[in-house]
A and B are shown apart, each in its own frame.
Chain A
Amino acid sequence: MFSKKTMEVFRNPKHVGFIKDADGIGRVGNPSCGDIMWVYIKVKQKNGKEILEDVKVKTFGCVAAIATASTVGEIAIGKALDKAIAITEKDIAKKLGGLPKEKMHCSTLSKKGLKAAIEDYRNKKEKAD
């Protein structure tokens, strides 16, 4: 059912867990499967740009949820926020060597989680400003 790459990432997810003093947290859930994801981000300034320094994801979900959670972190780290927020479920799936159609929503959940975390960071910043 899953690609070799997906299984590899599931077995050894590098970007799962949490960040203690996260700059932004995105909490998302998928009502249709009941799965939940929390995305933590750490942001740093570089050449006047906001860059994702670290991403960690906590997930209560299927194998694809864990694999896509780790992968969204892998893709996003080092990217500017504007670039990171534009990451799509397809980008994540592509990195994993494809996902079964019925598992695309797991990838969507990861994408939404990252987006929510970035938005959370921006909201906090706006308030602070």
Chain B
Amino acid sequence: MKLLKSTTKNTAVNAGDVTNNTGNYTMTKRVYLDHAATTPLDKRVLKVMEPYFSEKFGNAASTHFFGEEAEEAVEKAREDIAKAINAKPGEIYFTSGGTESDNLALAGIMRTGKKCEQLVTSNIEHHAIIRTADSLKKEGFETKFLSVNKKGFIQIEDVEKALKKKTRLVSVMHANNEIGTIQPIKEIGEACHKKETLFHSDAVQTVGKEKIDVEKMNIDMLSASAHKFYGPKGVGFLFKREEIKIEPLMFGGSHEKGLRPSTSNTPGIVGMAKALKIGIIEMDEENAREKKMRDRLVKESLEIKNSWINGGFPKIAGCAPLGFDFVEGQSMLLMLSDKGIAASTGSACNSEGLLPSHVLTALGLPRVKCHGSLRFTLGRENTDTDIDYVLEVLPPIVKKLREISPLRGK
């Protein structure tokens, strides 16, 4: 947020507060609780990336030692990433992130088929999926959006019912970015495979945070994005089984077997592989730690009257999608931001427009409740002190906004 000028770089918690001297905000406290949006780059990741900027800067496709050096690093990263999700190195394609991987998977598959064929997905997907599906519909393909239940889960029976002869691809996200619900991916994949239908999963919120085994989970294609797991922004990958043929989105050189032309982002790719490695090594311990903090945050926040949690469990460890009646998310966000707490809301009145979040609407949440939603997503740098601070700051903010709300006590 532009308005908040910080004077400290440290996310560690110091005593203190935000001082408002007419527009100049000096923050001594910065608590980042928006890890579903993006994560800070891990220092260990930065370290392995550094040589690939100006020292080992070669083009991985060049035939000389500069190129070879870069190519070696890219191919090593490909091997490491493949191993991390139980795939083959030849099945990993580097992209610019989650959005591109999702676009490539959906459009790439559908465009190898006939126009009468169908794409099945869900109504809680990220816009990278939903809008790609909408665009494919305009091209003439058929699309079907499965509904989730009130808790935010896809029902296997609904997937089975939706599978028709004309269904070419099913795409269901692993975990949702707004409510954290983890879908029964293995079972959905199994249902697809019984009908010989391909299955793609947007695993942007789970890669590096939850165990992924594409074999065991019956996944044919999978999207990931490094900046969600403490890697760099602007780099991701698509896993695609060897035997599946897809059309490229872009045309150019023969990088990534011609499926994704453009000079390899060597530092990004190296960083992503390292970030994934760290994520997997530290996963169990970190998830247990975040879950404990999250559970406390949820439990104590829900002590505020007329509050709730969006979506059911299982959820990703750090995700606390809360809601408070009679108040509006954006106002809560800004007041929290003034206190040095960064959270998020999927509510209306965001910069995008007036419509409430499609995910919350999909849960059957009435509009006023969508407006009162507030999402905290925890991560590696958070400590119990951060949670204490939120629990100290949040109740008075809700109280203050309720005092000026007409909905209260109606």
Question: Which B residue sits closest to A12, measured CB to CB?
Answer: B20
Residues of A contacting B356 with CB < 8 Å? Answer: 34
Given A17-B404, A62-B349, A66-B404, does the pair A33, B354 have CB atoms closer than 8 Å? yes
Residue count of chain A within 8 Å CB distance of chain B:
30
* Nearest CB in chain A to that of B407: its residue: A60
- Cβ contact within 8 Å between B406 and A11: no
Q: Does residue B403 face the partner (Cβ distance < 8 Å to A)?
A: yes
Asked if B406 and A59 sit within 8 Å, CB to CB, the answer is: yes
**Scoring A residues 10 to 53 as 1 if CB is less than 8 Å from chain B, else 0, what string do you get?**
11010011000000000100001111111000000000000000
The yes or no answer to B367 lying at the interface (CB within 8 A) is: yes
Q: Are A33 and B349 in contact (CB under 8 A)?
A: yes
Bound form: Cα–Cα A35–B3 in Å:
25
Which residues on the B side are within 8 Å of A62 (C-beta)?
Answer: 328, 330-331, 348-349
- B302 an interface residue at 8 Å Cβ cutoff? no
Is there an interface contact between A60 and B327, defined as CB atoms closer than 8 Å? yes
* Chain A residues with CB under 8 A of B404: 13, 16-17, 57-59, 66
Q: Which residues of B contact A2 (CB under 8 A)?
A: 3
Provide the bound-state CA to CA distance between A59 and B405, in Å.
Answer: 5
The proximity string for B residues 394-410 relative to A, scoring 1 for CB distances below 8 Å and 0 otherwise, is 00000000011111000
Which of chain B's residues 328-373 have a Cβ closer than 8 Å to chain A?
A: 328, 330-331, 334, 338, 348-349, 351, 353-354, 356, 367-368, 370-371
Q: Give the residues in chain A near B23, CB-CB below 8 Å.
A: 4, 7-8
Give CA–CA (A38, B286) in the complex, Å. Answer: 47
* A81: Cβ under 8 A from any B Cβ: no
How would residues 72 to 103 of chain A score, 1 for a CB under 8 Å from any chain B CB and 0 otherwise?
00000000000000000000000000000010
Secondary structure call for the B interface: loop
Chain B neighbourhood of A37, CB < 8 A: 406
**A36–B367 contact, CB under 8 A?**
no
**Nearest CB on A from B241, distance (A):** 43
Indicate if B229 sits at the interface (CB-CB under 8 A): no
Please tell me if B326 contacts chain A, counting CB pairs below 8 Å: yes
B349 pairs with A35, CB closer than 8 A: yes
- Contacts of B20 on A, CB cut-off 8 Å? 11
Q: How far does the alpha carbon of A37 sit from the alpha carbon of B368 in the complex, in Å? A: 13
> Nearest A residue to B3 by beta-carbon distance?
A7
Extra contacts besides A2-B3, A58-B406, A62-B330 (19): CB < 8 Å: A1-B351, A4-B3, A7-B23, A8-B22, A11-B20, A16-B404, A17-B404, A34-B354, A35-B371, A36-B407, A38-B406, A58-B404, A59-B404, A61-B331, A62-B348, A63-B331, A63-B334, A65-B328, A102-B351
Interface residues of chain A, those whose CB is within 8 Å of chain B, are: 1-2, 4, 7-8, 10-11, 13, 16-17, 27, 32-38, 57-66, 102, 105
A-B CB proximity, top 7 nearest: A62-B349, A58-B406, A33-B354, A38-B406, A16-B404, A34-B367, A60-B405
